[in-house]
């Protein structure tokens, strides 16, 4: 995992380097995420009853968001991430969830409509619009009905802006245009702001 990978033009390799590098630290701050996740998952469960669902979590990281679905009654939860180091942390922390190394732009391991709900938390803002489109198309393909995105929606704190700058993410354009991106692809779309600049984007397949 050479440091030079951070400076590569290849977005996928650069992102993989970043997330493999921060995985050990990220795993330790899971507890700080859980409070925000617990608030958000309550809203998800009000909108869409989670109990008994088959759920796919893309860009699962260390598995904290996936665990929220399991704790709220999902029948089966599958996490996918492109970072081996993140998945190592996830498997240690959440042994009751299945985790798989994979690419959100090409979910070749899953059949059409194989999950009731497909979700991603703080993933889609990190890539440019064309890559977001590919990810959303795959999410739509493998979901039977629901897509739930947990991501930036309101004011962003300065230290997060700095982190997004280091990551070279697309969060500013994401916040401005993501709802319209969803509307171009799905029959029904809804945005709900939660807390700490976060929000939930609900989409239903046509």
pLDDT at 110: 98
Rounded mean pLDDT of 162-182?
79
What's the rounded mean pLDDT across residues 98-123? Answer: 96
Q: With a cut of 50, say whether residue 198 has pLDDT above it.
A: yes
CA distances to 40, 53, 126, 167, 195 from 34, rounded to whole Å, are: 10, 21, 21, 22, 13
Give the pLDDT score at 30: 60
Identify the pLDDT of residue 199: 94
The pTM (predicted TM-score) of the whole model is 0.83
Structure confidence at residue 106 (pLDDT):
96
Q: Provide the pLDDT for residue 10.
A: 54
Q: What pLDDT, on the 0 to 100 scale, is given for residue 156?
A: 61
Q: Burial, 139: exposed, middle or buried (Cβ in 10 Å; 0-12, 13-18, 19+)?
A: buried
The length of the chain, given as a count of residues: 206
Residue 170: predicted pLDDT: 78
Residue 168 clears pLDDT 80, i.e. is over it: no
């Amino acid at each position: 995992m050479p440091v030079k990978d951070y400076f590569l033009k290849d977005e996928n390799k650069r992102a993989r380097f970043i997330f493999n590098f921060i995985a050990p630290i990220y795993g330790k701050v899971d507890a700080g995420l859980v409070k925000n996740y617990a608030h958000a998952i309550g809203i998800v469960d009000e909108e869409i009853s989670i109990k008994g669902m088959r759920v796919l979590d893309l860009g699962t990281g260390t598995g904290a968001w996936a665990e929220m679905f399991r704790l709220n009654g999902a029948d089966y939860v599958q996490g996918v991430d492109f970072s081996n180091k993140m998945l190592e942390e996830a498997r240690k922390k959440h042994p009751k969830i299945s985790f798989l190394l994979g690419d959100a732009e090409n979910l070749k391991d899953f059949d059409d409509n194989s999950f009731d709900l497909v979700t991603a938390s703080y993933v889609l803002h990190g890539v440019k619009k064309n890559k977001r489109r590919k990810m959303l198309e795959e999410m739509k393909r493998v979901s039977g009905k629901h897509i739930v995105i947990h991501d930036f929606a309101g004011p962003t704190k300065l230290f997060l802006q700095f982190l997004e700058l280091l990551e070279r993410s697309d969060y500013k354009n994401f916040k401005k245009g993501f709802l319209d991106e969803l509307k171009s692809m799905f029959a029904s779309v809804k945005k709900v702001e939660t807390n700490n600049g976060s929000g939930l984007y609900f989409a239903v397949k046509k």
